[in-house]
C-alpha cells in the first residue's frame, strides 16, 4: 500500500492541531478543511491575535482549505465600525486573504433566533425573570451544585409568548433572559442552564435597531461555525470548559454541519499585556499616543513602529502551538524582526546627537564621494554615494575627553576610522563658556582613503558620520518596552509599571542625504544604531523616524549561553 498523501512538506510547521487536521483528512473524517478567525470588534488586534491568525489562515493554506474572517459582533454596546475596519486592515497587512469569506455573527441573528424558538418548543430553553445577580447566586460553585430558577418550569406556551415579546422590545434591559435548560447540577458550570439571549436596547453597527435581543458568545459562536461549515474551530484554552456546551448546542439544534472545537495556549509575551480591554484603557487614559502608538503591542502599533509582517509570521512559526501555557520572551519577537531586517533593510548613516568635527588639514570647499554598500547581506541592493567634506558630524557619545580603560572610540590624541572614509586623529577639543564640548578639531590621513592604512595600522573603533553641510534634519523617536518589568502588574498596580523610558524623542538628528524623500513606512538600518522606520508624522521638510529595534540581539545571546 502506498503511503497516504502527506499534506505538509518537511519545511511546513507541525503542531498538535496540524496533526489532528492531517489525521482527519487521512482517515476521511473530513474531506476539506475550513477554519475561521473570529475577532470581536471591540478593540484593535494585538500580537496574540497574530498567533491565532497565522494558525487559522496557515492551516487553511497548508491543507488546501479556506479560512473565514468572521466578526463576532454580538455585543453592540462595545463594538464599533472603526474596529471592524482596523481588523480587516491588520489581517491583510499580516499577509492573509479571506477572499469572499467575510462573515458576521449578526448575519445569523434571524436563524439563531429561530433555532432558539425551536429549543423552547422542545422544552430545552426557558425565559428566566431572575436578575443577573440572582442567576449568579443560583449557579452554585465548583463544589456545590446550582439551584433551579423558580421560572425553570414555565410552560412552552408561556416561554414562546415571553420570548416573542422580548424580541418586540416590551421589556427593559436586564429584566429577562433566555436560558438553555440543561442541568443545574452539572459538574461543568457552563452547563448549568447558560444564558442564550439578553435584552439590550442598543443599536448595532450592522443590524441597527432591528434587534433588542442579542445572543451570547456561547450560543452564537458554535452555531456560526456550523452555518459556515467550519471543520476545525480553533480557540484559546479559556474556552476548553465551554466545549461541552459548544457540543450540546450542535447536538440539540438542526445545524447544517458539525464543527469541532480545539484549544491551544494563548500567547503571552514578556514586558507586554495582551488584552484588548487593558489596551483600550491605555488609549482612553491618554497614556499612549493611540491604538497605533509604536509602543503598543497592537498590530497597528507594531506596523507603525516598523515591524515587517514577515517577522510576525516567522515569530508565530518559531513559537509554535501547544496546550501548555508559557510566556514568550519579547526578545524572541525582536530576534525575528532583526532577522528579516538584516536581510532586507538598506544601511544608512545617521547621527542622533551630533558633535561637530572639523578636519583642519582637509581643503576648504572640497567634497569627495565615497561608495558605500547598501546591504552587505544583499549584493543586489547595490551601492550609494556618500559625500564627505571638511565639516563632519559624529555621535556625541563616540567621543570622551577623559576615556575610561575600555572606551576605544575617539579621545584627545587618538585615531579612529570613519566608516568607508578616512582615519582621523583628534587634535584639539573646543568648549563653550559652560565647559561643554562643542567641536573637535581633527586631522585626517590622506593615505587612508576608503578606511585602510597602507602601513597596516588599524584603529580599534570605526565610527559612523555625516557631512555637516550635506546632512538633512530629522526627528528620531527611540522606543523601548512599554513596561519596565517583564511581568507587568505582578506586584501592585499595573499602571505603576509603565516605563518612563518607553519613548525618547530626539530632535536635531542629522542624516546622510540619501535619506531625503524616504517614504512613510520605509525601513533602514542606521549603522551601529539599529533599525528605523519613517513615521507618518513626517512632513516634506522634516523626516520622523521610529526606532524599530536596536542591533543587539539579546535573545540570540541567551540561546547561545543555553547551549
Q: Is 401 a catalytic residue?
A: no
Applying CB under 6 A, among 275, 360, 366, 383 the residue interacting with ligand ATP is 275
Question: Residue 76 interacts with ligand ATP (CB under 6 A)?
Answer: no
From the CB of residue 539, how many other CB atoms can be counted at a distance below 10 Å?
7
Question: Residue 6 interacts with ligand ATP (CB under 6 A)?
Answer: no
544608512: which residue's cell? 348
Question: Residue 235 interacts with ligand ATP (CB under 6 A)?
Answer: yes
Q: Yes or no: say if 37 and 103 are a contact pair by the CB < 8 Å rule.
A: no
555637516: which residue's cell? 468
To the nearest whole angstrom, how small is the minimum distance from the Cβ of residue 235 to Mg ion? 9
Q: Is 40 a catalytic residue?
A: yes
Applying CB under 6 A, among 236, 342, 344, 554 the residue interacting with ligand ATP is 236
Closest CA to 387 of 446, 445, 470: 470
Question: Residue 453 interacts with ligand ATP (CB under 6 A)?
Answer: no
To the nearest whole angstrom, how small is the minimum distance from the Cβ of residue 280 to ligand ATP? 9
Q: Is 266 a catalytic residue?
A: yes
- The entry of ligand ATP, Mg ion, none that residue 414 binds, CB within 5 to 8 Å by partner kind: none
Nearer to ligand ATP, 276 or 338 (CB): 276
From the CB of residue 436, how many other CB atoms can be counted at a distance below 10 Å?
7
Q: Yes or no: say if 250 and 226 are a contact pair by the CB < 8 Å rule.
A: yes
Closest CA to 357 of 396, 318, 322: 396
Restricted to residues 39-98, the positions that interact with Mg ion (CB under 5 A) are 40
Applying CB under 6 A, among 25, 30, 48, 127 the residue interacting with ligand ATP is 48
Q: Point out the catalytic residue in the list 12, 40, 80, 317.
A: 40
> CA distances (Å), 539 to each of 209, 386, 473, 518, 527, in order?
43, 23, 11, 11, 24
Using CA atoms, how far apart are residues 154 and 193, in angstroms rounded to an integer? 14
Nearer to Mg ion, 276 or 295 (CB): 276
> Which residues 6+ apart lie within 8 Å of 433 measured at CB?
none
Calculate Rg over the CA atoms of the chain: 31
- The entry of ligand ATP, Mg ion, none that residue 48 binds, CB within 5 to 8 Å by partner kind: ligand ATP
Applying CB under 6 A, among 18, 38, 392, 524 the residue interacting with ligand ATP is 38
Closest CA to 71 of 37, 113, 33, 112: 37
- The entry of ligand ATP, Mg ion, none that residue 7 binds, CB within 5 to 8 Å by partner kind: none
Find the helix or strand (DSSP H, E) in which 337 lies: helix 330-344
Q: Point out the catalytic residue in the list 179, 276, 295, 348.
A: 276
Residue nearest to Mg ion (CB): 40
> CA distances (Å), 368 to each of 385, 391, 424, 516, in order?
9, 12, 16, 19
Applying CB under 6 A, among 119, 120, 220, 267 the residue interacting with ligand ATP is 267
Residue nearest to ligand ATP (CB): 48
From the CB of residue 369, how many other CB atoms can be counted at a distance below 10 Å?
12
Stretch that binds ligand ATP, among 47-55, 394-402, 525-533, 550-558 (CB under 6 A): 47-55
Using CA atoms, how far apart are residues 505 and 475, in angstroms rounded to an integer? 7
Provide the grid cell at 179.
436560558
Q: Point out the catalytic residue in the list 258, 266, 427, 559.
A: 266
Stretch that binds ligand ATP, among 43-51, 178-186, 244-252, 501-509 (CB under 6 A): 43-51
Question: Residue 66 interacts with ligand ATP (CB under 6 A)?
Answer: no
Nearer to ligand ATP, 48 or 259 (CB): 48
Work out whether strand 543-549 and strand 530-534 pair parallel, antiparallel, or are unpaired: antiparallel
Nearer to Mg ion, 36 or 481 (CB): 36
Applying CB under 6 A, among 111, 258, 266, 396 the residue interacting with ligand ATP is 266
Question: Residue 274 interacts with ligand ATP (CB under 6 A)?
Answer: yes
Beta bridge partners of 350: 511
To the nearest whole angstrom, how small is the minimum distance from the Cβ of residue 236 to Mg ion? 9
What is the DSSP code (8-state) at residue 528?
A: T
Nearer to Mg ion, 40 or 310 (CB): 40
Stretch that binds Mg ion, among 36-44, 63-71, 160-168, 387-395 (CB under 5 A): 36-44
Nearer to ligand ATP, 91 or 112 (CB): 91
Find the helix or strand (DSSP H, E) in which 467 lies: strand 465-467
SS3 content of the chain, % helix, strand, coil (to 5): 30, 25, 45
Question: What are the residues binding Mg ion (CB under 5 A)?
Answer: 40
Catalytic positions are 40, 266, 276
Question: What are the residues binding ligand ATP (CB under 6 A)?
Answer: 38-40, 48-49, 51-52, 235-236, 266-267, 274-277
Amino acid at each position: 500500500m502506498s503511503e497516504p498523501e502527506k499534506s505538509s512538506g518537511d519545511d511546513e510547521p507541525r503542531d498538535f492541531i496540524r496533526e489532528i487536521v492531517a489525521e482527519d483528512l487521512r482517515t476521511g473524517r473530513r474531506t476539506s478543511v475550513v477554519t475561521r478567525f473570529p475577532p470581536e470588534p471591540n478593540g484593535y488586534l494585538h500580537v496574540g491575535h497574530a498567533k491565532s491568525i497565522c494558525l487559522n489562515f496557515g492551516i487553511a493554506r497548508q491543507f488546501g482549505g479556506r479560512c473565514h474572517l468572521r466578526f463576532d459582533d454580538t455585543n453592540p454596546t462595545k463594538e464599533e465600525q472603526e474596529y471592524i475596519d482596523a481588523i480587516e486592515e491588520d489581517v491583510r497587512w499580516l499577509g492573509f486573504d479571506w477572499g469572499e469569506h467575510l462573515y458576521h455573527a449578526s448575519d445569523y441573528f434571524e436563524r439563531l433566533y429561530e433555532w432558539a424558538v425551536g429549543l423552547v418548543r422542545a422544552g430545552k430553553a426557558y425565559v428566566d425573570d431572575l436578575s443577573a445577580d440572582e442567576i449568579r447566586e443560583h449557579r452554585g460553585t465548583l463544589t456545590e451544585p446550582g439551584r433551579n430558577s423558580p421560572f425553570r418550569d414555565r410552560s412552552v406556551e408561556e416561554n414562546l409568548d415571553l420570548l416573542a415579546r422580548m424580541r418586540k422590545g416590551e421589556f427593559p434591559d436586564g429584566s429577562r433572559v433566555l436560558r438553555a435548560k440543561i442541568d443545574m447540577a452539572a459538574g461543568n458550570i457552563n452547563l448549568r442552564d447558560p444564558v442564550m439571549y439578553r435584552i439590550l436596547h442598543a443599536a448595532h453597527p450592522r443590524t441597527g435597531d432591528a434587534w433588542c435581543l442579542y445572543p451570547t458568545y456561547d450560543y452564537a459562536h458554535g452555531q456560526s461555525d456550523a452555518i459556515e461549515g467550519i471543520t476545525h474551530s480553533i480557540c484559546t484554552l479559556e474556552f476548553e470548559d465551554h466545549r461541552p456546551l459548544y457540543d450540546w448546542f450542535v447536538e440539540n439544534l438542526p445545524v447544517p454541519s458539525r464543527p469541532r472545537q480545539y484549544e491551544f495556549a494563548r500567547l503571552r509575551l514578556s514586558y507586554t499585556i495582551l488584552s484588548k480591554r487593558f489596551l483600550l484603557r491605555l488609549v482612553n487614559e491618554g497614556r499612549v499616543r493611540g491604538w497605533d502608538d509604536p509602543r503598543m503591542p497592537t498590530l497597528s502599533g507594531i506596523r507603525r513602529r516598523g515591524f515587517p509582517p514577515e517577522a510576525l509570521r516567522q515569530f508565530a512559526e518559531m513559537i509554535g502551538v501547544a496546550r501548555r501555557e508559557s510566556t514568550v520572551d519579547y526578545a524572541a519577537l525582536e530576534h525575528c524582526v532583526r532577522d528579516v531586517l538584516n536581510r532586507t533593510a538598506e544601511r544608512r548613516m545617521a547621527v542622533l546627537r551630533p558633535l561637530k568635527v572639523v578636519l583642519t588639514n582637509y581643503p576648504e570647499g572640497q567634497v569627495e564621494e565615497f561608495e558605500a554598500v547598501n546591504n552587505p547581506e544583499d549584493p543586489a541592493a547595490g551601492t550609494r554615494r556618500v559625500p564627505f567634506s571638511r565639516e563632519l558630524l559624529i555621535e556625541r557619545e563616540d567621543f570622551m575627553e577623559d576615556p575610561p580603560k575600555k572606551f576605544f572610540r575617539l579621545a584627545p590624541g587618538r585615531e579612529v576610522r570613519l566608516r568607508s572614509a578616512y582615519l582621523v586623529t583628534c587634535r584639539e577639543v573646543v568648549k563653550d563658556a559652560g565647559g561643554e564640548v562643542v567641536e573637535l578639531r581633527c586631522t585626517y590621513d590622506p593615505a587612508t582613503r576608503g578606511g585602510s592604512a597602507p602601513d597596516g595600522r588599524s584603529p580599534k573603533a570605526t565610527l559612523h558620520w555625516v557631512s555637516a553641510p550635506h546632512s538633512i534634519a530629522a526627528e528620531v523617536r527611540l522606543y523601548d518596552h512599554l513596561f519596565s518589568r517583564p511581568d507587568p502588574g505582578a506586584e501592585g498596580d499595573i499602571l505603576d509599571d509603565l516605563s518612563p523610558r518607553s519613548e525618547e524623542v530626539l530632535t536635531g538628528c542629522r542624516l546622510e542625504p540619501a535619506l531625503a524623500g524616504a517614504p512613510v513606512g520605509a525601513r533602514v538600518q542606521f549603522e551601529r544604531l539599529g533599525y528605523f522606520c519613517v513615521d507618518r508624522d513626517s512632513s516634506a521638510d522634516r523626516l520622523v523616524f521610529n526606532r524599530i529595534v536596536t542591533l543587539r540581539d539579546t535573545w540570540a545571546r541567551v540561546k547561545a549561553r543555553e547551549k
